[in-house]
Structure 1
Amino acid sequence: MYTLHTMPSTAGMAPHILLREIGAEHELVFLERAKEEHKSAEYLALNPNGRVPTLVDGDLVVYESAAICLHLCDRHPQAGLAPAVGTQERARFYQWMAWLTNTIQPDMLVYFYPERYVPAAACADLKTVAEGRLHLQFQIADATLADRPYLLGETYSAADAYLFMLARWSRNMTLKARDLPNLGHFLERVYARPAVRAAFVAEGLEAPYF
């Protein structure tokens, strides 16, 4: 059985969704941010970065959301959440996963935690810049989805769960991912999946969902 250490509505959402898509037996351990449980000695022994999520798979401990997603795809190829290894489609899958984690997600960190990068007086301006960059990035996803239901075409993959998670984080921004026509329909499509709805219920999330 897997154990996923996470917090609601964080980077643990994509792995959480995949566990449900796979139908794998799992336990969710929700850490309390207010109590800084992610900084406890017990948790730091699992993940020295003090961040979520962390997956425990027997004797194996994996952290970083994308790494967990890739591990789950490899452990459960029958779930069809990633194309076969060695194919062109698999290469494209890697491209999307890397783009989501290395391009969109870092700008999300800048938007939500500007104080980590600049003095307080410059935080508002930095958030504006980050939001503009994110909007341009979501436009790329929107253009890709103009002629297909999912990033890889007709087949839903772990990359779609990851894009859904990141796009959801824009729900309270001025420039929302859901307002882009193709991406908006994509978010509705992914949210309609039973595994996604079940993850939202388990995490206790309320509208707006994305």
Structure 2
Amino acid sequence: MKLYYMPGACSMTPHTALEWIGQPYEAQSVNRREVKSPEYLKLNPQGAVPLLVDGDLVLSQNAAILAYLDARFPQARLFGSDDLKGKARAWRWLAFLNADVHKAFSPLFHLPDYVHDEAVKTAMQSAARDNIRHLLAQADAQLAAQPYLGDDVSVADVYLYVLLRWCRSLKLDLADLLQLAPFYVRLGENAGVRSVITQENLKP
């Protein structure tokens, strides 16, 4: 198996999953120029990470990769449960983080080229910050009742950890969401997460 990733990107989630699985794999770091190269675009026309190659299977999209890895290596309990309902609870959070929260960061990373007015840019980015805080408040409420989003630590928690890293980089104030800081520390102490941080040459 080979995973293409960008350091600190959402591809940290399947990267951590591969660490939890404990089987041999190769992790290939790519940058924004490389994912737009003709060679990479043949594998993934979207020019994005993550991308998993397993034999003749070439798979993009976090949700698809994680579903495949979970089905292939059920003993790793990537969704924190052996129970169908327990898995579904973790899947619900993964879907929310992948589809809703991740997307909310877009105006902070790259506004559309057609937005030229500085006041409009500022307003869009301010609204994005408020939206992210509103969405993360849902995860904060869940973590007030239990240590992880699902029944046990899962790939959904890793995705939240990645998004919280982005919040820190962007200096988003989440101080009033009291569960997120201890959760961040808790996930950062996970052996698989620590290994990925080292491999991707990131700061803890």
Cα deviation, residue 180, structure 1: 2.5
SS in 1 for 2:9: coil
Cα deviation, residue 26, structure 1: 1.1
Q: Is 1:63 the counterpart of 2:60 in the alignment? A: yes
Any gaps of 5 or more consecutive residues in structure 1? Answer: none
TM-score, L = length of structure 2? 0.91
Write the mapping of 1:122-141 to structure 2, written as runs, cut at 5 A.
122-141=120-139
Give the paired residue count. 202
Q: Is 1:109 the counterpart of 2:69 in the alignment? A: no
Q: 1:16 to 1:182 in 2, by over 3 A?
A: same
Cα deviation, residue 52, structure 1: 1.1
Match of 2:64, as an amino acid? A
Tell me the C-alpha RMSD between the 2 structures.
Answer: 1.8
Any gaps of 5 or more consecutive residues in structure 2? Answer: none
User: Counterparts of 2:145 and 2:157 in 1: how far apart (Å)?
Assistant: 15
| Cα deviation 1:108-140 (Å, max 9, x = unaligned) | 122211235733522222111101100111111
Match of 1:21, as an amino acid? W
Say whether the 8 Å CA contact 1:7–1:32 is kept in structure 2. Answer: yes
| Cα deviation 1:33-69 (Å, max 9, x = unaligned) | 3xx1111111001100011111101110111122212
Q: 1:4 to 1:176 in 2, by over 3 A?
A: farther
Query: 1:7 maps to what in 2?
Result: 6
Query: 2:197 maps to what in 1?
Result: 200
Write the mapping of 1:90-109 to structure 2, written as runs, cut at 5 A.
90-109=87-106
Higher relative contact order (CA 8 A, sep 6+): 2
Q: 1:127 to 1:200 in 2, by over 3 A?
A: same
| Cα deviation 1:161-205 (Å, max 9, x = unaligned) | 111111211013343447622111111111001111110111111
Cα deviation, residue 94, structure 1: 2.2
